[in-house]
Structure 1
Amino acid sequence: MNTADLAFAPRHDLGIRTVSVSAPGRLHLGFLDPSGSLGRAFGSLGVVIDGFTTELELSASPSEADQLAADTPAAEAELPRAAAHVAALRQRSGCHAPLSLRLGQVLPPHAGFGSGTQLASAIGRAYAEWHGLDVGTATLAHWLGRGLRSGIGIAGFDTGGLLLDGGPAADGLPAPLLSRIAFPEDWRIIVVQDPGHRGLSGGAEKQAIAALPPLPQSVAADICHQVLMRVLPGAASEEFAPFAAGINRMQQLLGEHFAPAQGGVFTSLAVARLMRWFADASRANGAAIGQSSWGPTGFAIVPSETRAQLLVDAARAGGHVDPALEIRIVTGRNRGAVVRDRSVPPRAR
């Protein structure tokens, strides 16, 4: 069990049934065709990661009204959105029993980890489990307004791994999952956060996308070729060099396309400087470097724990890490959310 699974210790009376959910974060590695040059827009590549989770528990309310609580200031900020999700689930399901919902921890918001989708999916899954509803994660996400562009977080909630989706359907349903490959166990991901910045989201994100010129079909074709013939085969066969080359080319093309909307290839200048240093320091051994979604979170995927630690140590020793940045070395996660019900053994989705 990962230490992140232990960070959230459910606190409930043993006489009260409680459903808890631990939902993993993900990195969005890029869109295939955000402009829909062939009629179907977006399509996403992403990887689920360990070390970043949304944790919550749901039980019966001790009163006739819902009881919502949070363990941290970040989780408390998400309580209005959590209440809205519960209200939407009631409207869809017709189940109206008052509930107690506690948010233990949440993913960093608007930072490239899929915080909104994981919060919605975790609440939806806990709600469905509590009421005995046979509803899939994609349907729950649709009920709660998630998956309008990317389906990576929705699929990742169920399966983990390196994921490719085909873009949302015309009817608004979340994107179909096209490929799921286990992320190689030896590879490591250096995650670089800049807590002082936030990526675009909501209306600002829609406006930014609408203001950009269409991505040329030739560029979208190049991205699709990189994913199909480098990234996915590289991961499937644990060949790091083609995987890294494909990710780097994809990130270059998308970074240049989105630069006018986000102030550069990277949203955070401090992250950009460190990513450039990682790239220069990795020329001999290779690294897949980029930004997750609108950032500001950057990542460097390398072939081993040793290589990851050497890079981070060298960056710190050389004074290349801005004091505002936070760095963690994590693994890819090849399992989805964990749902626990005190009346049944734990089960991993």
Structure 2
Amino acid sequence: MGLVIEGHGTRITARRAQRTARIDGASTQAQHERIKAYLTKLHTALGVTQPVDIDVHETPRAHTGLGSGTQLALAIGTAFARVTGHDLPTADIARILGRGARSGIGIHGFDHGGLIVDGGRSTAHTETATLPPLLARQPFPDAWRVLLIDDTSREGLHGDAEKRGLASLAPFPAALAAHLAHLVLMRLLPAVAECEFDIFADAICDMQQTIGDYFAPAQGGVFASPAVARALQAVAAEQKAGIGQTSWGPVGFAFVAGAQQAERALATAQRAAQQASLSFSITTARNRGATWQAADSRASGADAA
């Protein structure tokens, strides 16, 4: 399950290059190399010989649990396809670029926005398996707010460290999986559909505790960042809030019922930060997918949420 949010997005422009392709605006050398690899895969898969320039205007910090890698890949792939005259479904772009190996949330979210529930991937599936199916897509209440807290001194597990972390964990207990399924189907989705914030918040806290306890041996606790945990717990102690962590973190979130509650939650979290390396932002859900537009007569761009 995942929610598409406003802000913290990815915005890039692709243009047909006259000679040698260039990549401008990458935030790190690793991101530059990743984009270069994506372009190579796209050229090969689509049989395109003309070089394509990429300008990166905005991306979230990598490895924070906000799905930045998937959104960057899909934005690059969408813009590349448009500028080279190909009409490709997002699922095909994801397959070409090797996204969706564990989850389809970021891919379905790119297309639709809102609150997304997918069917997951069976352990029997191979690398050539289809995208995990979209089971539910629910518009998220406009009034509800999300406080995001990022520990900028940390990154979430990724790459080989993530693989080792997953391998170190015991199989997820069937009873816990059933409990999470019940939370999603019987509490979270109905609460969102009926705008019942208190029920939603309680279910989010229950889900975070259940998942966090399971992943604690790999990430060092229910939350990956003790400072983020401290700030979120302070918010939850002061008002009704649904607190949790984005994937491997370190970003944590607190859902609150409205704009005033969000400002109060922000002030509380900042007081609890105790000079930690935390950054804060307030956002809302994005109930629409990514957008693209022609940049000029020679170019197409993609703006990914």
- What TM-score, normalized by structure 2, do the two folds share? 0.93
2:24 corresponds in structure 1 to: 69
Checking the alignment, whether the CA contact within 8 Å between 2:14 and 2:301 is kept in structure 1 is: no
Offset, 1:330: 0.3
Q: Normalized per residue, which structure has more strand?
A: 1
| Structure 2 Cα separation of the partners of residues 241 and 314 of structure 1 | 19
Offset, 1:77: 4.0
| Structure 2 Cα separation of the partners of residues 300 and 95 of structure 1 | 45
Cα distance change of structure 1 residues 85 and 348 upon mapping to structure 2, 3 Å threshold: closer
Percent pairwise identity: 42
**Higher RCO by CA contacts (8 Å cutoff, separation 6 or greater):** 2
Provide the aligned length of Structure 1 versus Structure 2.
298
Checking the alignment, whether the CA contact within 8 Å between 1:248 and 1:288 is kept in structure 2 is: yes
| Structure 2 Cα separation of the partners of residues 224 and 68 of structure 1 | 43
RMSD (CA atoms): 1.9
Cα distance change of structure 1 residues 77 and 346 upon mapping to structure 2, 3 Å threshold: closer
1:56 corresponds in structure 2 to: 12
Checking the alignment, whether the CA contact within 8 Å between 1:277 and 1:320 is kept in structure 2 is: no
1:278 corresponds in structure 2 to: 235
Structure 1 counterpart of 2:66, from 113, 138, 153:
113
2:18 partner letter: P
Checking the alignment, whether the CA contact within 8 Å between 1:109 and 1:115 is kept in structure 2 is: yes
Structure 2 counterpart of 1:296, from 250, 266, 272:
250
1:1-349 → structure 2 map (5 Å cutoff): 45-63=1-19, 65-70=20-25, 74=27, 77-168=30-121, 170=125, 171-282=128-239, 286-316=240-270, 318-342=271-295
Cα distance change of structure 1 residues 198 and 175 upon mapping to structure 2, 3 Å threshold: same
Offset, 1:176: 1.1
Checking the alignment, whether the CA contact within 8 Å between 2:232 and 2:269 is kept in structure 1 is: no
Which stretches of structure 1, 4 residues or longer, exceed 6 Å deviation after superposition?
344-349
Offset, 1:313: 1.8
| Structure 1 Cα separation of the partners of residues 301 and 52 of structure 2 | 21
Checking the alignment, whether the CA contact within 8 Å between 1:230 and 1:245 is kept in structure 2 is: no
Cα distance change of structure 1 residues 67 and 165 upon mapping to structure 2, 3 Å threshold: same
Offset, 1:343: 5.5
| Structure 2 Cα separation of the partners of residues 51 and 321 of structure 1 | 26
1:341 match: secondary structure? strand
Checking the alignment, whether the CA contact within 8 Å between 2:231 and 2:272 is kept in structure 1 is: no
Cα distance change of structure 1 residues 321 and 188 upon mapping to structure 2, 3 Å threshold: farther
Which sections of structure 1, spanning at least 5 residues, go unmatched? 1-44
2:199 partner letter: P
1:276 partner letter: Q
| Structure 2 Cα separation of the partners of residues 315 and 299 of structure 1 | 11
1:142 partner letter: R
Offset, 1:58: 0.7
- What TM-score, normalized by structure 1, do the two folds share? 0.81
